Amino acid sequence: MTVASESSIALETRGLTKDFGGFRANSDVSIAVRRGSRHALIGPNGAGKTTFVNLLTGVLSATAGSVLLGGEDVTRASPQARVRKGMARTFQINQLFADLTPLETVALAVSERLGTGAQWWRRLGTRSEVVDEAAELLTRMRLGDVMTRRTAQLPYGKQRLLEMAAALACRPQVLLLDEPAAGVPEDERHEILDMVEALPAEVTVVLIEHDMELVFSFADRISVLVQGALFTEGTVDEIARDPRVRTVYLGEEVVHA
Amino acid sequence: MSDASTLNGAAAPSGTPSGTPASTAPRDFLIGKSRWKPAEFAFWAVAVGALFALPDRHLLLNEIAILGLFTLSLDLILGFAGIVSLGHAAFLGIGAYAAGLLTKHGVSEPLTGLLAAGALAGAVGFLSSFLILRGTDLTRLMVTLGVALIFHELANRLDWITGGADGLLGVAPGPIAGLFEFDIFGTTAYAYSLAVLFVLFLLARRIVHSPFGLSLRALKDNRLRAGSLGIASARRIVAVYTLAAVYAGIAGALLTQTTQFVSLEILDFARSADALLVLVIGGTGYLYGGLVGAVAFTLLKDGLSAITPAYWLFWMGLFLVVLVLVGRDRMVERVRGLLARAVGRRA
Ligand SMILES: Nc1ncnc2c1ncn2[C@@H]1O[C@H](COP(=O)(O)OP(=O)(O)OP(=O)(O)O)[C@@H](O)[C@H]1O
Ligand SMILES: [Mg+2]
């Protein structure tokens, strides 16, 4: 939080590149995301959006280039170190603890954030600040009624909400949402998208989403990724009016919306 | 969604005054998981009761208690952190030799021996834990197996220290804490092993129900997500692997002290495999699997080798195959169902 005042750029990449063998999944991607901004990252399937998030979070290590979080170079930092520095994410494909309950999942993240996650002498649930915060967050995320059920038994839509709740429990300054409503039936999407809309204003959000209507209403800036490279970037109006974006993306969008 | 309504009521009571998180249900749910259950009291009561009820079986009971501790230690890494090992006997052996050598060289007080054995095994566990941080289950199986083979060969080669193939003879521990002499019936031995097992069990129980224990279950479940919540998996694994090695080392020391003997056999692959079999029988990840499994395994082995001395391994093998194919959970459910019906009929 101390770096907050030093820079208005929350997240920046410089020449970020990732090769899988001979295949270049991200190619020289440089973006800068302003603090508190709602930044959308769009592009056709296989454009390298998820790969980009994996590079940002340290799940994958970059072939070249760097990642700066609040001005600090975190390119070599482990995923958990980046979380502690204020970056959290959701996964396009659920990455949850199937055997744990939502309450345990979120309590775990809260304990970890408070630095009490390695305490072995304390009974779980005896720190009321952890339990209360977890329960409060889960209730706010409409998971209050299922928080003591096994995660694997939750309906898919609830699992998607838990993806977000787990990330929010880290109290990130930068939140990366990789298609938060992916795979959710049409009539349940709004439940998740409402949550995205309701994110605290001070949190910088990078959203990957295929639903253009949603992107245009949510984002203040949009980056378009095509074949691993940054195709163009601009305000919502600029992107919406750009005929090239239509050709590479919007035309195709209709197919898999 | 069928039971959502009941949980709804339990987890978030509606009708509480606005806003304030007045609900204590989440707290109770978390704390409730570490509350003692009646079956647990019963288990320990039976274990202590056996000390008085079965005076002529103390040697066997002692064997069970030690196997239980050794398997509990494997359960800590396998059942709670998801780390597979085929070489857990390495730590058992290190503890056993450490206790034996200490006793032979003048430090004959058993509790001191336990602590020293646990510390040495823990140190080796700590160092070898770095070898299992990366890689797949298969590489872990190979690495742990390899480490155990190395120690087996070391004990074999360093025969001027370990007695080599002949083993360490004449290990004569003094009275425990200067008070309790070992006897030939194994009474002191069983009481001693059971007491050590119980204390270490209590510690393990506290640990698995702590935030640390929760993080172990989390990284067993999904290490990618655990890292994405800020959990440094490597440190947790080093810690629990070291702890498990300490436990195994203490089990080894108990074995040396109560049998007054240690040989190369303690480092055999079969020892590591037995511990896994015990967990297959008893189940992993709920702490009692190793203990219940040790009882079943030892009684089965004892019973089978009494009935068919030549073929007991065959029957043991058959039992395990059936157990795995049918599924322990299903068998337990069936037995539970039968019991419930029997009880219900009487009522
Ligand atoms: N671990 C990997 N090894 C090899 N190739 C990979 C790997 N991960 C991704 N790729 C490839 O990199 C390309 C980009 O994949 P990525 O998942 O980043 O795309 P995306 O933009 O997120 O697509 P979608 O919209 O379908 O989620 C794809 O061609 C994919 O097959
Ligand atoms: Mg993707």
Q: How far is A50 from chain B (nearest CA, A)?
A: 14
Q: What is the pLDDT of residue B15?
A: 38
d(C-alpha B323, C-alpha B325), whole Å: 6
B164 band by pLDDT with thresholds 50, 70 and 90:
confident
Q: What is the pLDDT of residue B250?
A: 98
Q: What is the pLDDT of residue A150?
A: 96
Spatial contact of A206 and A222, defined as CB atoms under 8 Å apart: no
d(C-alpha B82, C-alpha B133), whole Å: 12
What is the total count of domains within chain A?
A: 1
Q: What is the pLDDT of residue B344?
A: 65
Cβ neighbors of A199 (< 8 A, separation 6 or more) are: A168, A175, A205
C-alpha of residue A188 to centroid of ligand 2, in Å:
20
In this structure, is residue A116 part of a structural domain? no
Could you tell me how many helices (H) and strands (E) chain A has, helices first? 10, 11
Spatial contact of B204 and B287, defined as CB atoms under 8 Å apart: yes
ipTM of the complex, rounded to two decimals: 0.91
Written as one letter, the residue type at B66 is I
Cβ neighbors of B172 (< 8 A, separation 6 or more) are: B103, B108, B260
Spatial contact of A135 and B21, defined as CB atoms under 8 Å apart: yes
Q: Is A44 in the pocket of ligand 1 (CB under 6 A)?
A: no
Which residue in the set A97, A118, A125 is minimally distant from B222, CB to CB? A97
For residue A45, the ligand closest to its alpha carbon is 1
What's chain B's average pLDDT?
88
Q: What is the pLDDT of residue B172?
A: 86
> Residue range B75-91: average pLDDT?
95
Q: What is the pLDDT of residue B315?
A: 84
3-state SS record for B88-99:
CHHHHHHHHHHH
> Residue range A206-224: average pLDDT?
92
pLDDT higher than threshold 60 for residue A27: yes
> Residue range A78-82: average pLDDT?
96
Ligand 1 atom with the shortest distance to the CA of A44: 25
C-alpha of residue A228 to centroid of ligand 1, in Å:
9
pLDDT higher than threshold 70 for residue B2: no
B273 band by pLDDT with thresholds 50, 70 and 90:
very high
Q: Which two tokens stand for residue B40?
A: 């647990």
% of chain B with per-residue pLDDT over 90? 67
Which residue in this structure is represented by tokens 């439940």?
A191
What's chain A's average pLDDT?
91
> Residue range B93-118: average pLDDT?
94
Is the CB of A149 inside 8 Å of chain B's CB atoms?
Answer: yes
The angle at the Cα of A108, spanning B32 to A144, to the nearest 5 degrees, equals: 65
pLDDT tens digits for range A164-192: 999 999 999 999 999 998 889 988 888 89
pLDDT tens digits for range B21-53: 446 789 999 999 999 999 999 999 999 999 999
Q: What is the pLDDT of residue B24?
A: 76
d(C-alpha B214, C-alpha A56), whole Å: 27
> Residue range B139-151: average pLDDT?
94
A7 band by pLDDT with thresholds 50, 70 and 90:
low
% of chain B with per-residue pLDDT over 70? 91
pLDDT higher than threshold 80 for residue B332: no
Q: What is the pLDDT of residue B169?
A: 84
Spatial contact of A168 and A88, defined as CB atoms under 8 Å apart: yes
Domain that holds residue A221: 3-94+174-248
d(C-alpha B69, C-alpha B51), whole Å: 17
Q: What is the pLDDT of residue B35?
A: 92
d(C-alpha A90, C-alpha A96), whole Å: 10
> Residue range B84-108: average pLDDT?
94
Cβ neighbors of A134 (< 8 A, separation 6 or more) are: A103, A106, A107, A110, A147, A169, B26
Cβ neighbors of B152 (< 8 A, separation 6 or more) are: B90, B93, B264, B267, B268
pLDDT tens digits for range B285-302: 999 999 999 999 999 888
Measured torsion, CA atoms of residues B302, B306, B308, B313, in degrees rounded to the nearest 10: 20
Q: Mutate which of A148, A156, A168, A170 to test chain B, going by most B C-beta atoms within 10 A?
A: A148
C-alpha of residue B99 to centroid of ligand 1, in Å:
55
Q: In chain B, where are the structural domains located?
A: 53-268
d(C-alpha B284, C-alpha B293), whole Å: 10
Is the CB of A76 inside 8 Å of chain B's CB atoms?
Answer: no
> Residue range B221-227: average pLDDT?
95
In this structure, is residue A188 part of a structural domain? yes
Indicate the range of A54-68, A113-127, B63-77 predicted with least confidence. Answer: A113-127
d(C-alpha A95, C-alpha A110), whole Å: 17
DSSP conformation letters of B50-113 = HHHH-GGGHHHHHHHHHHHHHHHHHHHHHTTT----S-THHHHHHHHHHHHHHHHTT---HHHH
> Residue range A134-141: average pLDDT?
96
Indicate the range of A164-178, B67-81, B165-179, B213-227 predicted with least confidence. Answer: B165-179
Q: Is B47 helix (H, G, I), strand (E, B) or coil?
A: helix
pLDDT tens digits for range B174-199: 888 888 988 888 999 999 999 999 99
B307 band by pLDDT with thresholds 50, 70 and 90:
confident
Q: How far is A246 from chain B (nearest CA, A)?
A: 34
